[in-house]
Amino acid sequence: MLNTTFWKKYFEVYDLLNELIPYRELLDKICEELDVKNGDLVLDAGAGTGNLGVEIEKRDGRVVGFDLSPEGLGIHKKKTPFAELVIGDLSRPLPFENNYFDKICSNNTIYTIPRKYREDIFREFYRVLKPRGKVVVSNITLGFNPFKIYLTHIKQSFRKIGIMNTMLKVIKLAIPTIKIFYYNHLIQKEDRSGRYDFFEVDEQKDLLRKTGFTNISENKSVYVGQAVLNTAIK
Ligand SMILES: C[S@@+](CC[C@H](N)C(=O)[O-])C[C@H]1O[C@@H](n2cnc3c(N)ncnc32)[C@H](O)[C@@H]1O
């Protein structure tokens, strides 16, 4: 499993992702699917630096950010003063009561946790979610290629702010961009060495079904085809 030292280093540059149009679109899609209503209590499982938490608060949701990394949650705290942040390990029982959350989301997190823990993670989501509560999960899938995300961003940015402004931004952000590619390379290497596994295309859907969820959506291809999103109801 990638440890907290890895995430600590990665978090020094992680929020550069906020500059990438496909990442922003992914966060928007998750919020749209979550359909946050005023006052909804939402668990963000693997909250990291809180980019999703910011979006949930904008939509008047109450965020509980759960993550292994104190450094990630430290950055999260600065962005979302109202969020409750809890340090913990998703591969262990969650420190929340049964039927506690209105909604649960988890973005690009469970794929970094070995397959043997995943069913228990979804079981815990089921336990802490209120009856009729909604879960939205998105994870990177096999064949992950971060270059596709970057190239799509460049193309979309050309259209949005023009070639000149895009190139200036690319140059300005060159060093953190290279670091992000390096950390993604390490993630891919972990996958190839078999220490953990990117998601199989139907894996999320199967886990949701096995752990008792209903109304499981078809796979939705997100993040420039690099991830699959599913929604379900308890
Ligand atoms: C790629 S980041 C995604 C962060 C955030 N969800 C986002 O959308 O940007 C993966 C996150 O999973 C967290 N994580 C990895 N293993 C974990 C575990 N076993 N328990 C809790 N969090 C974990 C890491 O600390 C990191 O914040």
Any idea what the CATH number is for the domain that residue 50 is in?
A: 3.40.50.150
Report CA 221 to chain centroid distance, whole Å: 14
Q: How far apart, in whole angstroms, are the C-alpha atoms of residue 107 and residue 114?
A: 16
pLDDT digits 0-9 by tens, 130-159: 999 999 999 999 888 888 988 999 999 888
How remote is the CA of residue 146 from the centroid of ligand 1, in Å?
Answer: 17
Best probe residue, ligand 1, of 104, 106, 107, 109 (max atoms within 8 Å of C-beta): 109
Pairing of strands 129-140, 84-87: unpaired
* Residue 81 CA, ligand 1 centroid: distance in Å: 20
Which residue minimizes the CA distance to atom 17 of ligand 1? 68
Task: For residue 2, give every residue at least 6 positions away whose Cβ sits within 8 Å of its Cβ, in sequence order, or none.
Answer: 112, 186, 187, 190, 196
Q: Ligand 1 centre and the CA of 94: distance in Å?
A: 15
**Domains in the chain: how many in total?**
1
Q: Return d(Cα 229, Cα 218) in angstroms, integer.
A: 9
Q: What is the pLDDT of residue 194?
A: 66
Rounded to 5 degrees, φ, ψ at 233 are -125, 145
The residue-averaged pLDDT of 211-222 equals: 98
Reported as a single tens digit per residue, the pLDDT across 93-123 is 999 999 999 999 999 999 988 899 999 999 9
Pocket of ligand 1 contains residue 51 by CB under 6 Å = yes
Quick one: pLDDT at residue 195? 64
pLDDT of 2 > 70? The answer is no
Q: Is the pLDDT of residue 52 over 70?
A: yes
Dist CA 216 CA 124 (whole Å): 17
Q: What is the pTM of this model?
A: 0.93
In ligand 1, which atom is closest to the CA atom of 91? 19
* For residue 1, pLDDT beyond 60: no
Asked whether 52 lines ligand 1 (CB < 6 A), one says yes
Q: Quick check: CB of 72 below 6 Å from ligand 1?
A: yes
What is the whole-number distance in angstroms between the Cα of residue 165 and the centre of ligand 1?
Answer: 32
Share of the chain above pLDDT 70, in %: 97
C-alpha 210 – ligand 1 centre gap (Å): 23
Alpha helices, DSSP H only, in the chain? 4-11, 21-34, 51-58, 70-79, 118-128, 146-161, 163-172, 174-192, 203-210
Range of the domain at 188: 4-233
Q: How many angstroms separate the CA atoms of 188 and 184, rounded? A: 6
